[in-house]
Amino acid sequence: MREAIRKGFTYKIIISILFGLLGFALNFHTINFSFPPYVATVLIGLIFPMLVTFAWGWKYGLLSALVGGCQSMWWVWGPSNGYATFVVVPPFTLWIVWHGWMADFRTKQTDSKWWLSAYAVEIPFRILNTINLFTLSRWAISLNPPPWTWASNAPDTIPMDFSIFVVIKQAVVGYIILLLADVLLNLGFVRKFFGLEKEYNQVNTNFIIRAAFLVGAFFWIVDSTISTLVFQPESSFLDSLALNVSAHDIFIRTVFLLVSLAGGVLASNLLRGQRESDDALRDSEERLKQIIEGNPTPIFVIGEKHTITHWNKVCENLTGFPANEMVGTQKQWLPFYSEERPILADLIMDEATEKDISKNYGSKYNKSTLIKGAYEVEDFFPGLDDKWLFFTAAPLRDHHGKVIGAIETLRDITEIKQAEKELKQYSKGLEQMVFIRTRELEDTNQELTDFAYVVSHDLKAPLRGISQLAHWISSDYTEVLDQDGQEKLRLLISRTKRMHLLIEGILQYSRVGRAAAEVQSVDLNQLVNETIEILAPPENIQISIENELPAVEGMYTYFEQVFLNLLSNAIKFIDKPQGFVKIGCVGKEDSWLFSVADNGSGIDEKYFDKIFQMFQTLAPSNYKTESTGIGLPLVKKIVGLWGGRVWLESVVGEGSTFFFTVPKEGEKNERQ
Amino acid sequence: MRGNKPILLVEDDQVDVMTVQRALKDLNVTNRLEITGDGEQALSFLRSPDNSKPCVILLDLSMPRMNGIEFLSVAKQDTKFRKIPVVVMTSSEEEQDKVDSFDLGVAGYIVKPVAYQDFVEAMKTVDMYWTLSEFPQDR
């Protein structure tokens, strides 16, 4: 609660005003040092606004100074300075503001810089003020006497000696005030009063400053005693202590006191810096230890002379060797090997070459891709419960870059290795399973194909019998059968012919992918021309090859069947007096695209799928076209077999174009 | 066919037998036609001393008990029957059947046509060929 008040706005304003008034009052009681013919007056009251400005910054400093801290001089020096008062007094306020501003600036800095200290920033101010005292002030003096009566005695000229004296005096007083303010603000209770944080190691600081003050005070007393006893036996002790002391003695004693205090502040500051960095070091060491200790990865660190410096808890668990037995020794090999040998961390610390590493780890090591200068090894440790370990050692360097140790992290990968092994076995088993299943599937497929083949094959024999018997009845019993009987027998024979065609179709279809034939280079130009010859199209139909066809790798009969079926279909469905069929081929990136276009009757889009199904024919069932509906399914099966695709575009009444693709080299999947 | 030795038909299908009989009659082939229903019967016919050796064997492949290929593998082992020309007459267009048949030394392989007239044409060719061709004496 009291802390909060001390940091509060009102408290600061009240104290600033109060200190300003205190300073105002105290400045009338100047400490005078006589330097004949001049008297040096020390305005000790300035310490109050200076404390405020140091503690809380320039705004409060300005308030304190304006309220009174720096205003007594108007009265003290007014009569003797005349006009010069106006140029001599305001710089004191400026002085307070300047130091407050710099104090604000210092608190914003992360680390202290000597050239920002109050003693350093005093210099530029002092230079400006000195220039002022030598120029403006002297010029103002020359304008004297002013019209107002209380300063009518002010001289219109001052000797240069006096100006020099004032400059020196002000510099000395300035530094004394700064020093005293600094001393006071180093003391714990003063800091508390201003609501400032305790200085680091405040107790020692307090002690040193008090000691310095006591040393100064002790000298004062000793000097007084000696004066009384030795030099001026007639005067009393109190006279020589404070009441009647010569200016010279006061000066000597004050200087000594100030030097003691300056020494105290300096010493406490130095000590504080030292303590701070010591503690920071200890903290950082402690933090490092905690980082290593709190890490769930087994870690150990070796330092000077390969001695173990850290060996964390999980490392204990992994190796079974407690840290208190390992740290401080050079037995890092012990948990891992049966006899003493350098381990990876040792090699890394010695900046060993890859040759040296391979001497110890064969080909099991790798350069780390993540950490500079680090190496990783995956190895099996029979001495460590048959564990597999993956460990990485990285060099530790000092700020010069010199290797001063190494850190090694270990990972128990036994379970991963085990899982890997199981996975390998499993996938091997899976592969075998897939192989067996594939074989089974292939066998089943083959059986099905064989079945279709055998069935259709066996159907042919009785069909032939029916056909022939019908034929013989027709020819042998001409007299017995009437016209109607003859017609029915003719129909019977035509149906057997159709059934025969269907069976042939199935046979042909099931033979695709069954028959063993050699893959060879097929010149499609030649093949298509031969096919056209076989088909012998009627004269009103013109078949043309639009561009030169490529030579492809494949089975001759397959290409023949594809072109035979597509061309015969095209011819079959031409319904115009002038028919044409155009064969084309375009080379794509990885396949050939063939097209067979006609100007026949065309196919409605709704039949595009149906025409590729077995026994689906769009011709009326008058059997004149001898269409069995096997041609296009056969084409589809063959094209599918080599990994191609077949489709069509068609406009009813205008014609159809069938497309199919043939993959280029090495992509055909022809089953033997 | 040359000479008057019989023709041996190995065939289990009655209609096919009738077809052959009818075709030979239509072609005026005078050689007697001996008919056996399967490979075993054909072998016992050949082995019987009462029967004279045929000039040509017309062999079906798919038959019960002993099929055509099995018959061939036995008959062609036997030096006494090896020289008798065998013409396979079958409905099988299987490449494997053709390969097996020729491996076993058949003289011809005819796929039975569906239409009777085509069958007659095929038989005519067989008859013409084996009328023209010489046979070794000692049979």
Residue-wise pLDDT for B27-82, tens only, equals 988 889 999 988 989 999 999 888 888 989 999 988 888 889 999 999 999 888 88
Compute the distance between CA of residue A499 and CA of residue A383 in angstroms, rounded to an integer: 81
Of A489, A508, A527, the domain-final residue: A508
* ipTM of predicted complex: 0.73
Cross-chain Cβ contact A464/B22 below 8 Å: no
Is the domain of A398 the same as that of A482? no
Residue-wise pLDDT for A175-232, tens only, equals 888 988 888 888 888 888 888 887 777 777 888 888 888 888 888 888 888 877 777 6
Compute the distance between CA of residue A72 and CA of residue A82 in angstroms, rounded to an integer: 15
B62 touches chain A (CB under 8 A): yes
> Nearest-CA distance from A448 to chain B in Å?
16
Is the domain of A541 the same as that of A654? yes
What is the per-residue pLDDT for A665?
67
B112 touches chain A (CB under 8 A): yes
**CATH number of the domain that residue A615 is part of:** 3.30.565.10
What is the per-residue pLDDT for A2?
59
Nearest to A328 by CA among A301, A297, A299: A301
What is the per-residue pLDDT for A419?
92
Q: Which residues pair with A656 in a beta bridge?
A: A650
Which of A453, A454, A459, A464 is most worth mutating to test chain B (most B CB atoms within 10 A of its CB)? A464
A331 touches chain B (CB under 8 A): no
Average pLDDT over residues A471-500: 86
Check whether A672 has a pLDDT greater than 60: no
Is the domain of A495 the same as that of A631? no
DSSP assignment of A428-472 equals HHHHHHHHHHHHHHHHHHHHHHHHHHHHHHHHHHHHHHHHHHHHH
- The nearest alpha carbon in chain A to B91 belongs to A461
Domains of chain B: 7-131 (3.40.50.2300)
- The nearest alpha carbon in chain A to B113 belongs to A464
Whether A323 maps to a domain, the answer reads: yes
pTM: 0.44
Strand ranges in B1-139 using DSSP code E only, listed in sequence order? 7-10, 33-36, 56-59, 86-90, 108-111
Is the domain of A21 the same as that of A168? yes
Is the domain of A322 the same as that of A447? no
Is the domain of A477 the same as that of A574? no
Partner-chain residue, chosen from A457, A468, A497, that has the shortest CB–CB distance to B116? A468
Average pLDDT over residues A446-475: 81
Which of B25, B93, B114, B120 is most worth mutating to test chain A (most A CB atoms within 10 A of its CB)? B114
A6 touches chain B (CB under 8 A): no
- B93 contacts on A by Cβ (under 8 Å): 457, 507
Cross-chain Cβ contact B19/A496 below 8 Å: no
Cross-chain Cβ contact B116/A515 below 8 Å: no
What is the per-residue pLDDT for B133?
86
A469 touches chain B (CB under 8 A): yes
Cross-chain Cβ contact B13/A497 below 8 Å: no
Check whether A625 has a pLDDT greater than 90: no
Is the domain of A145 the same as that of A13? yes
Cross-chain Cβ contact B15/A500 below 8 Å: no
Domain count within chain A: 4
Tokens of B10: 């190995």
Whether A286 maps to a domain, the answer reads: no
pLDDT band at A516 (very low <50, low <70, confident <90, very high): low
Partner-chain residue, chosen from B13, B92, B95, that has the shortest CB–CB distance to A465? B13
Whether A444 maps to a domain, the answer reads: yes
A496 touches chain B (CB under 8 A): yes
Cross-chain Cβ contact A457/B92 below 8 Å: yes
Q: What's the domain range around A125?
A: 2-180
Compute the distance between CA of residue A336 and CA of residue A338 in angstroms, rounded to an integer: 7
- A471 contacts on B by Cβ (under 8 Å): 115-116
Is the domain of A104 the same as that of A167? yes
Question: Under a CB-based contact definition with an 8 Å cutoff, are residues A264 and A209 in contact?
Answer: yes
Tokens of B28: 């005026």
What is the per-residue pLDDT for A666?
53
Is the domain of A385 the same as that of A433? no
Whether A462 maps to a domain, the answer reads: yes
Q: pLDDT over 90 for what percent of chain B?
A: 35
Compute the distance between CA of residue A661 and CA of residue A639 in angstroms, rounded to an integer: 7
Whether A232 maps to a domain, the answer reads: no
Phi–psi pair at A597, nearest 5 degrees: -110, 140
**CATH number of the domain that residue A332 is part of:** 3.30.450.20
Partner-chain residue, chosen from A461, A497, A515, that has the shortest CB–CB distance to B91? A461
Cross-chain Cβ contact A471/B16 below 8 Å: no
**What's the mean pLDDT when you consider all of chain A?**
85
Average pLDDT over residues A311-338: 90
Partner-chain residue, chosen from B13, B22, B93, that has the shortest CB–CB distance to A461? B13
Cross-chain Cβ contact B13/A463 below 8 Å: no
Whether the bond between A145 and the residue before it is cis, its omega within 30 degrees of 0, is: yes
Partner-chain residue, chosen from B62, B95, B115, that has the shortest CB–CB distance to A515? B95
Residue-wise pLDDT for A98-143, tens only, equals 999 999 888 888 777 888 888 899 999 999 999 998 888 888 888 8
Helices B68-75 and B39-47, axial angle in degrees (round to 10): 30
Cross-chain Cβ contact A464/B62 below 8 Å: no
- B18 contacts on A by Cβ (under 8 Å): 468, 472
Check whether B139 has a pLDDT greater than 70: no
Tokens of A368: 């780390």
Cross-chain Cβ contact B91/A467 below 8 Å: no
Compute the distance between CA of residue A609 and CA of residue A613 in angstroms, rounded to an integer: 7
> Nearest-CA distance from B82 to chain A in Å?
29
Of A140, A162, A180, the domain-final residue: A180
Residue-wise pLDDT for A363-401, tens only, equals 888 898 888 889 999 988 888 888 899 999 999 998 888
Residue-wise pLDDT for A13-25, tens only, equals 999 999 999 999 9
What is the per-residue pLDDT for A500?
83
pLDDT band at A623 (very low <50, low <70, confident <90, very high): very low
Phi–psi pair at A593, nearest 5 degrees: -110, 115
Is the domain of A526 the same as that of A634? yes
Cross-chain Cβ contact B92/A465 below 8 Å: no
Is the domain of A126 the same as that of A109? yes
pLDDT band at A667 (very low <50, low <70, confident <90, very high): very low
pLDDT band at A589 (very low <50, low <70, confident <90, very high): confident
Check whether A660 has a pLDDT greater than 80: yes
Of A157, A180, A203, the domain-final residue: A180
Residue-wise pLDDT for A152-179, tens only, equals 777 888 888 888 888 888 888 898 889 8
Q: Which helix (H) or strand (E) holds A169?
A: helix A160-186
Whether A376 maps to a domain, the answer reads: yes
Question: Which residue has 């064997």 as its token pair?
Answer: B57
A287: amino acid identity, one letter: R
Whether A270 maps to a domain, the answer reads: no
Compute the distance between CA of residue A64 and CA of residue A96 in angstroms, rounded to an integer: 9
What is the per-residue pLDDT for A619?
62
Check whether A408 has a pLDDT greater than 70: yes
- A463 contacts on B by Cβ (under 8 Å): 114
Residue-wise pLDDT for A253-307, tens only, equals 888 888 888 888 888 888 888 888 888 889 988 998 899 988 899 999 999 899 9
Whether A273 maps to a domain, the answer reads: no
Is the domain of A79 the same as that of A94? yes
Question: Under a CB-based contact definition with an 8 Å cutoff, are residues A186 and A265 in contact?
Answer: yes
**Cβ–Cβ pairs < 8 A, chains A and B:** 41
**CATH number of the domain that residue A87 is part of:** 1.10.1760.20
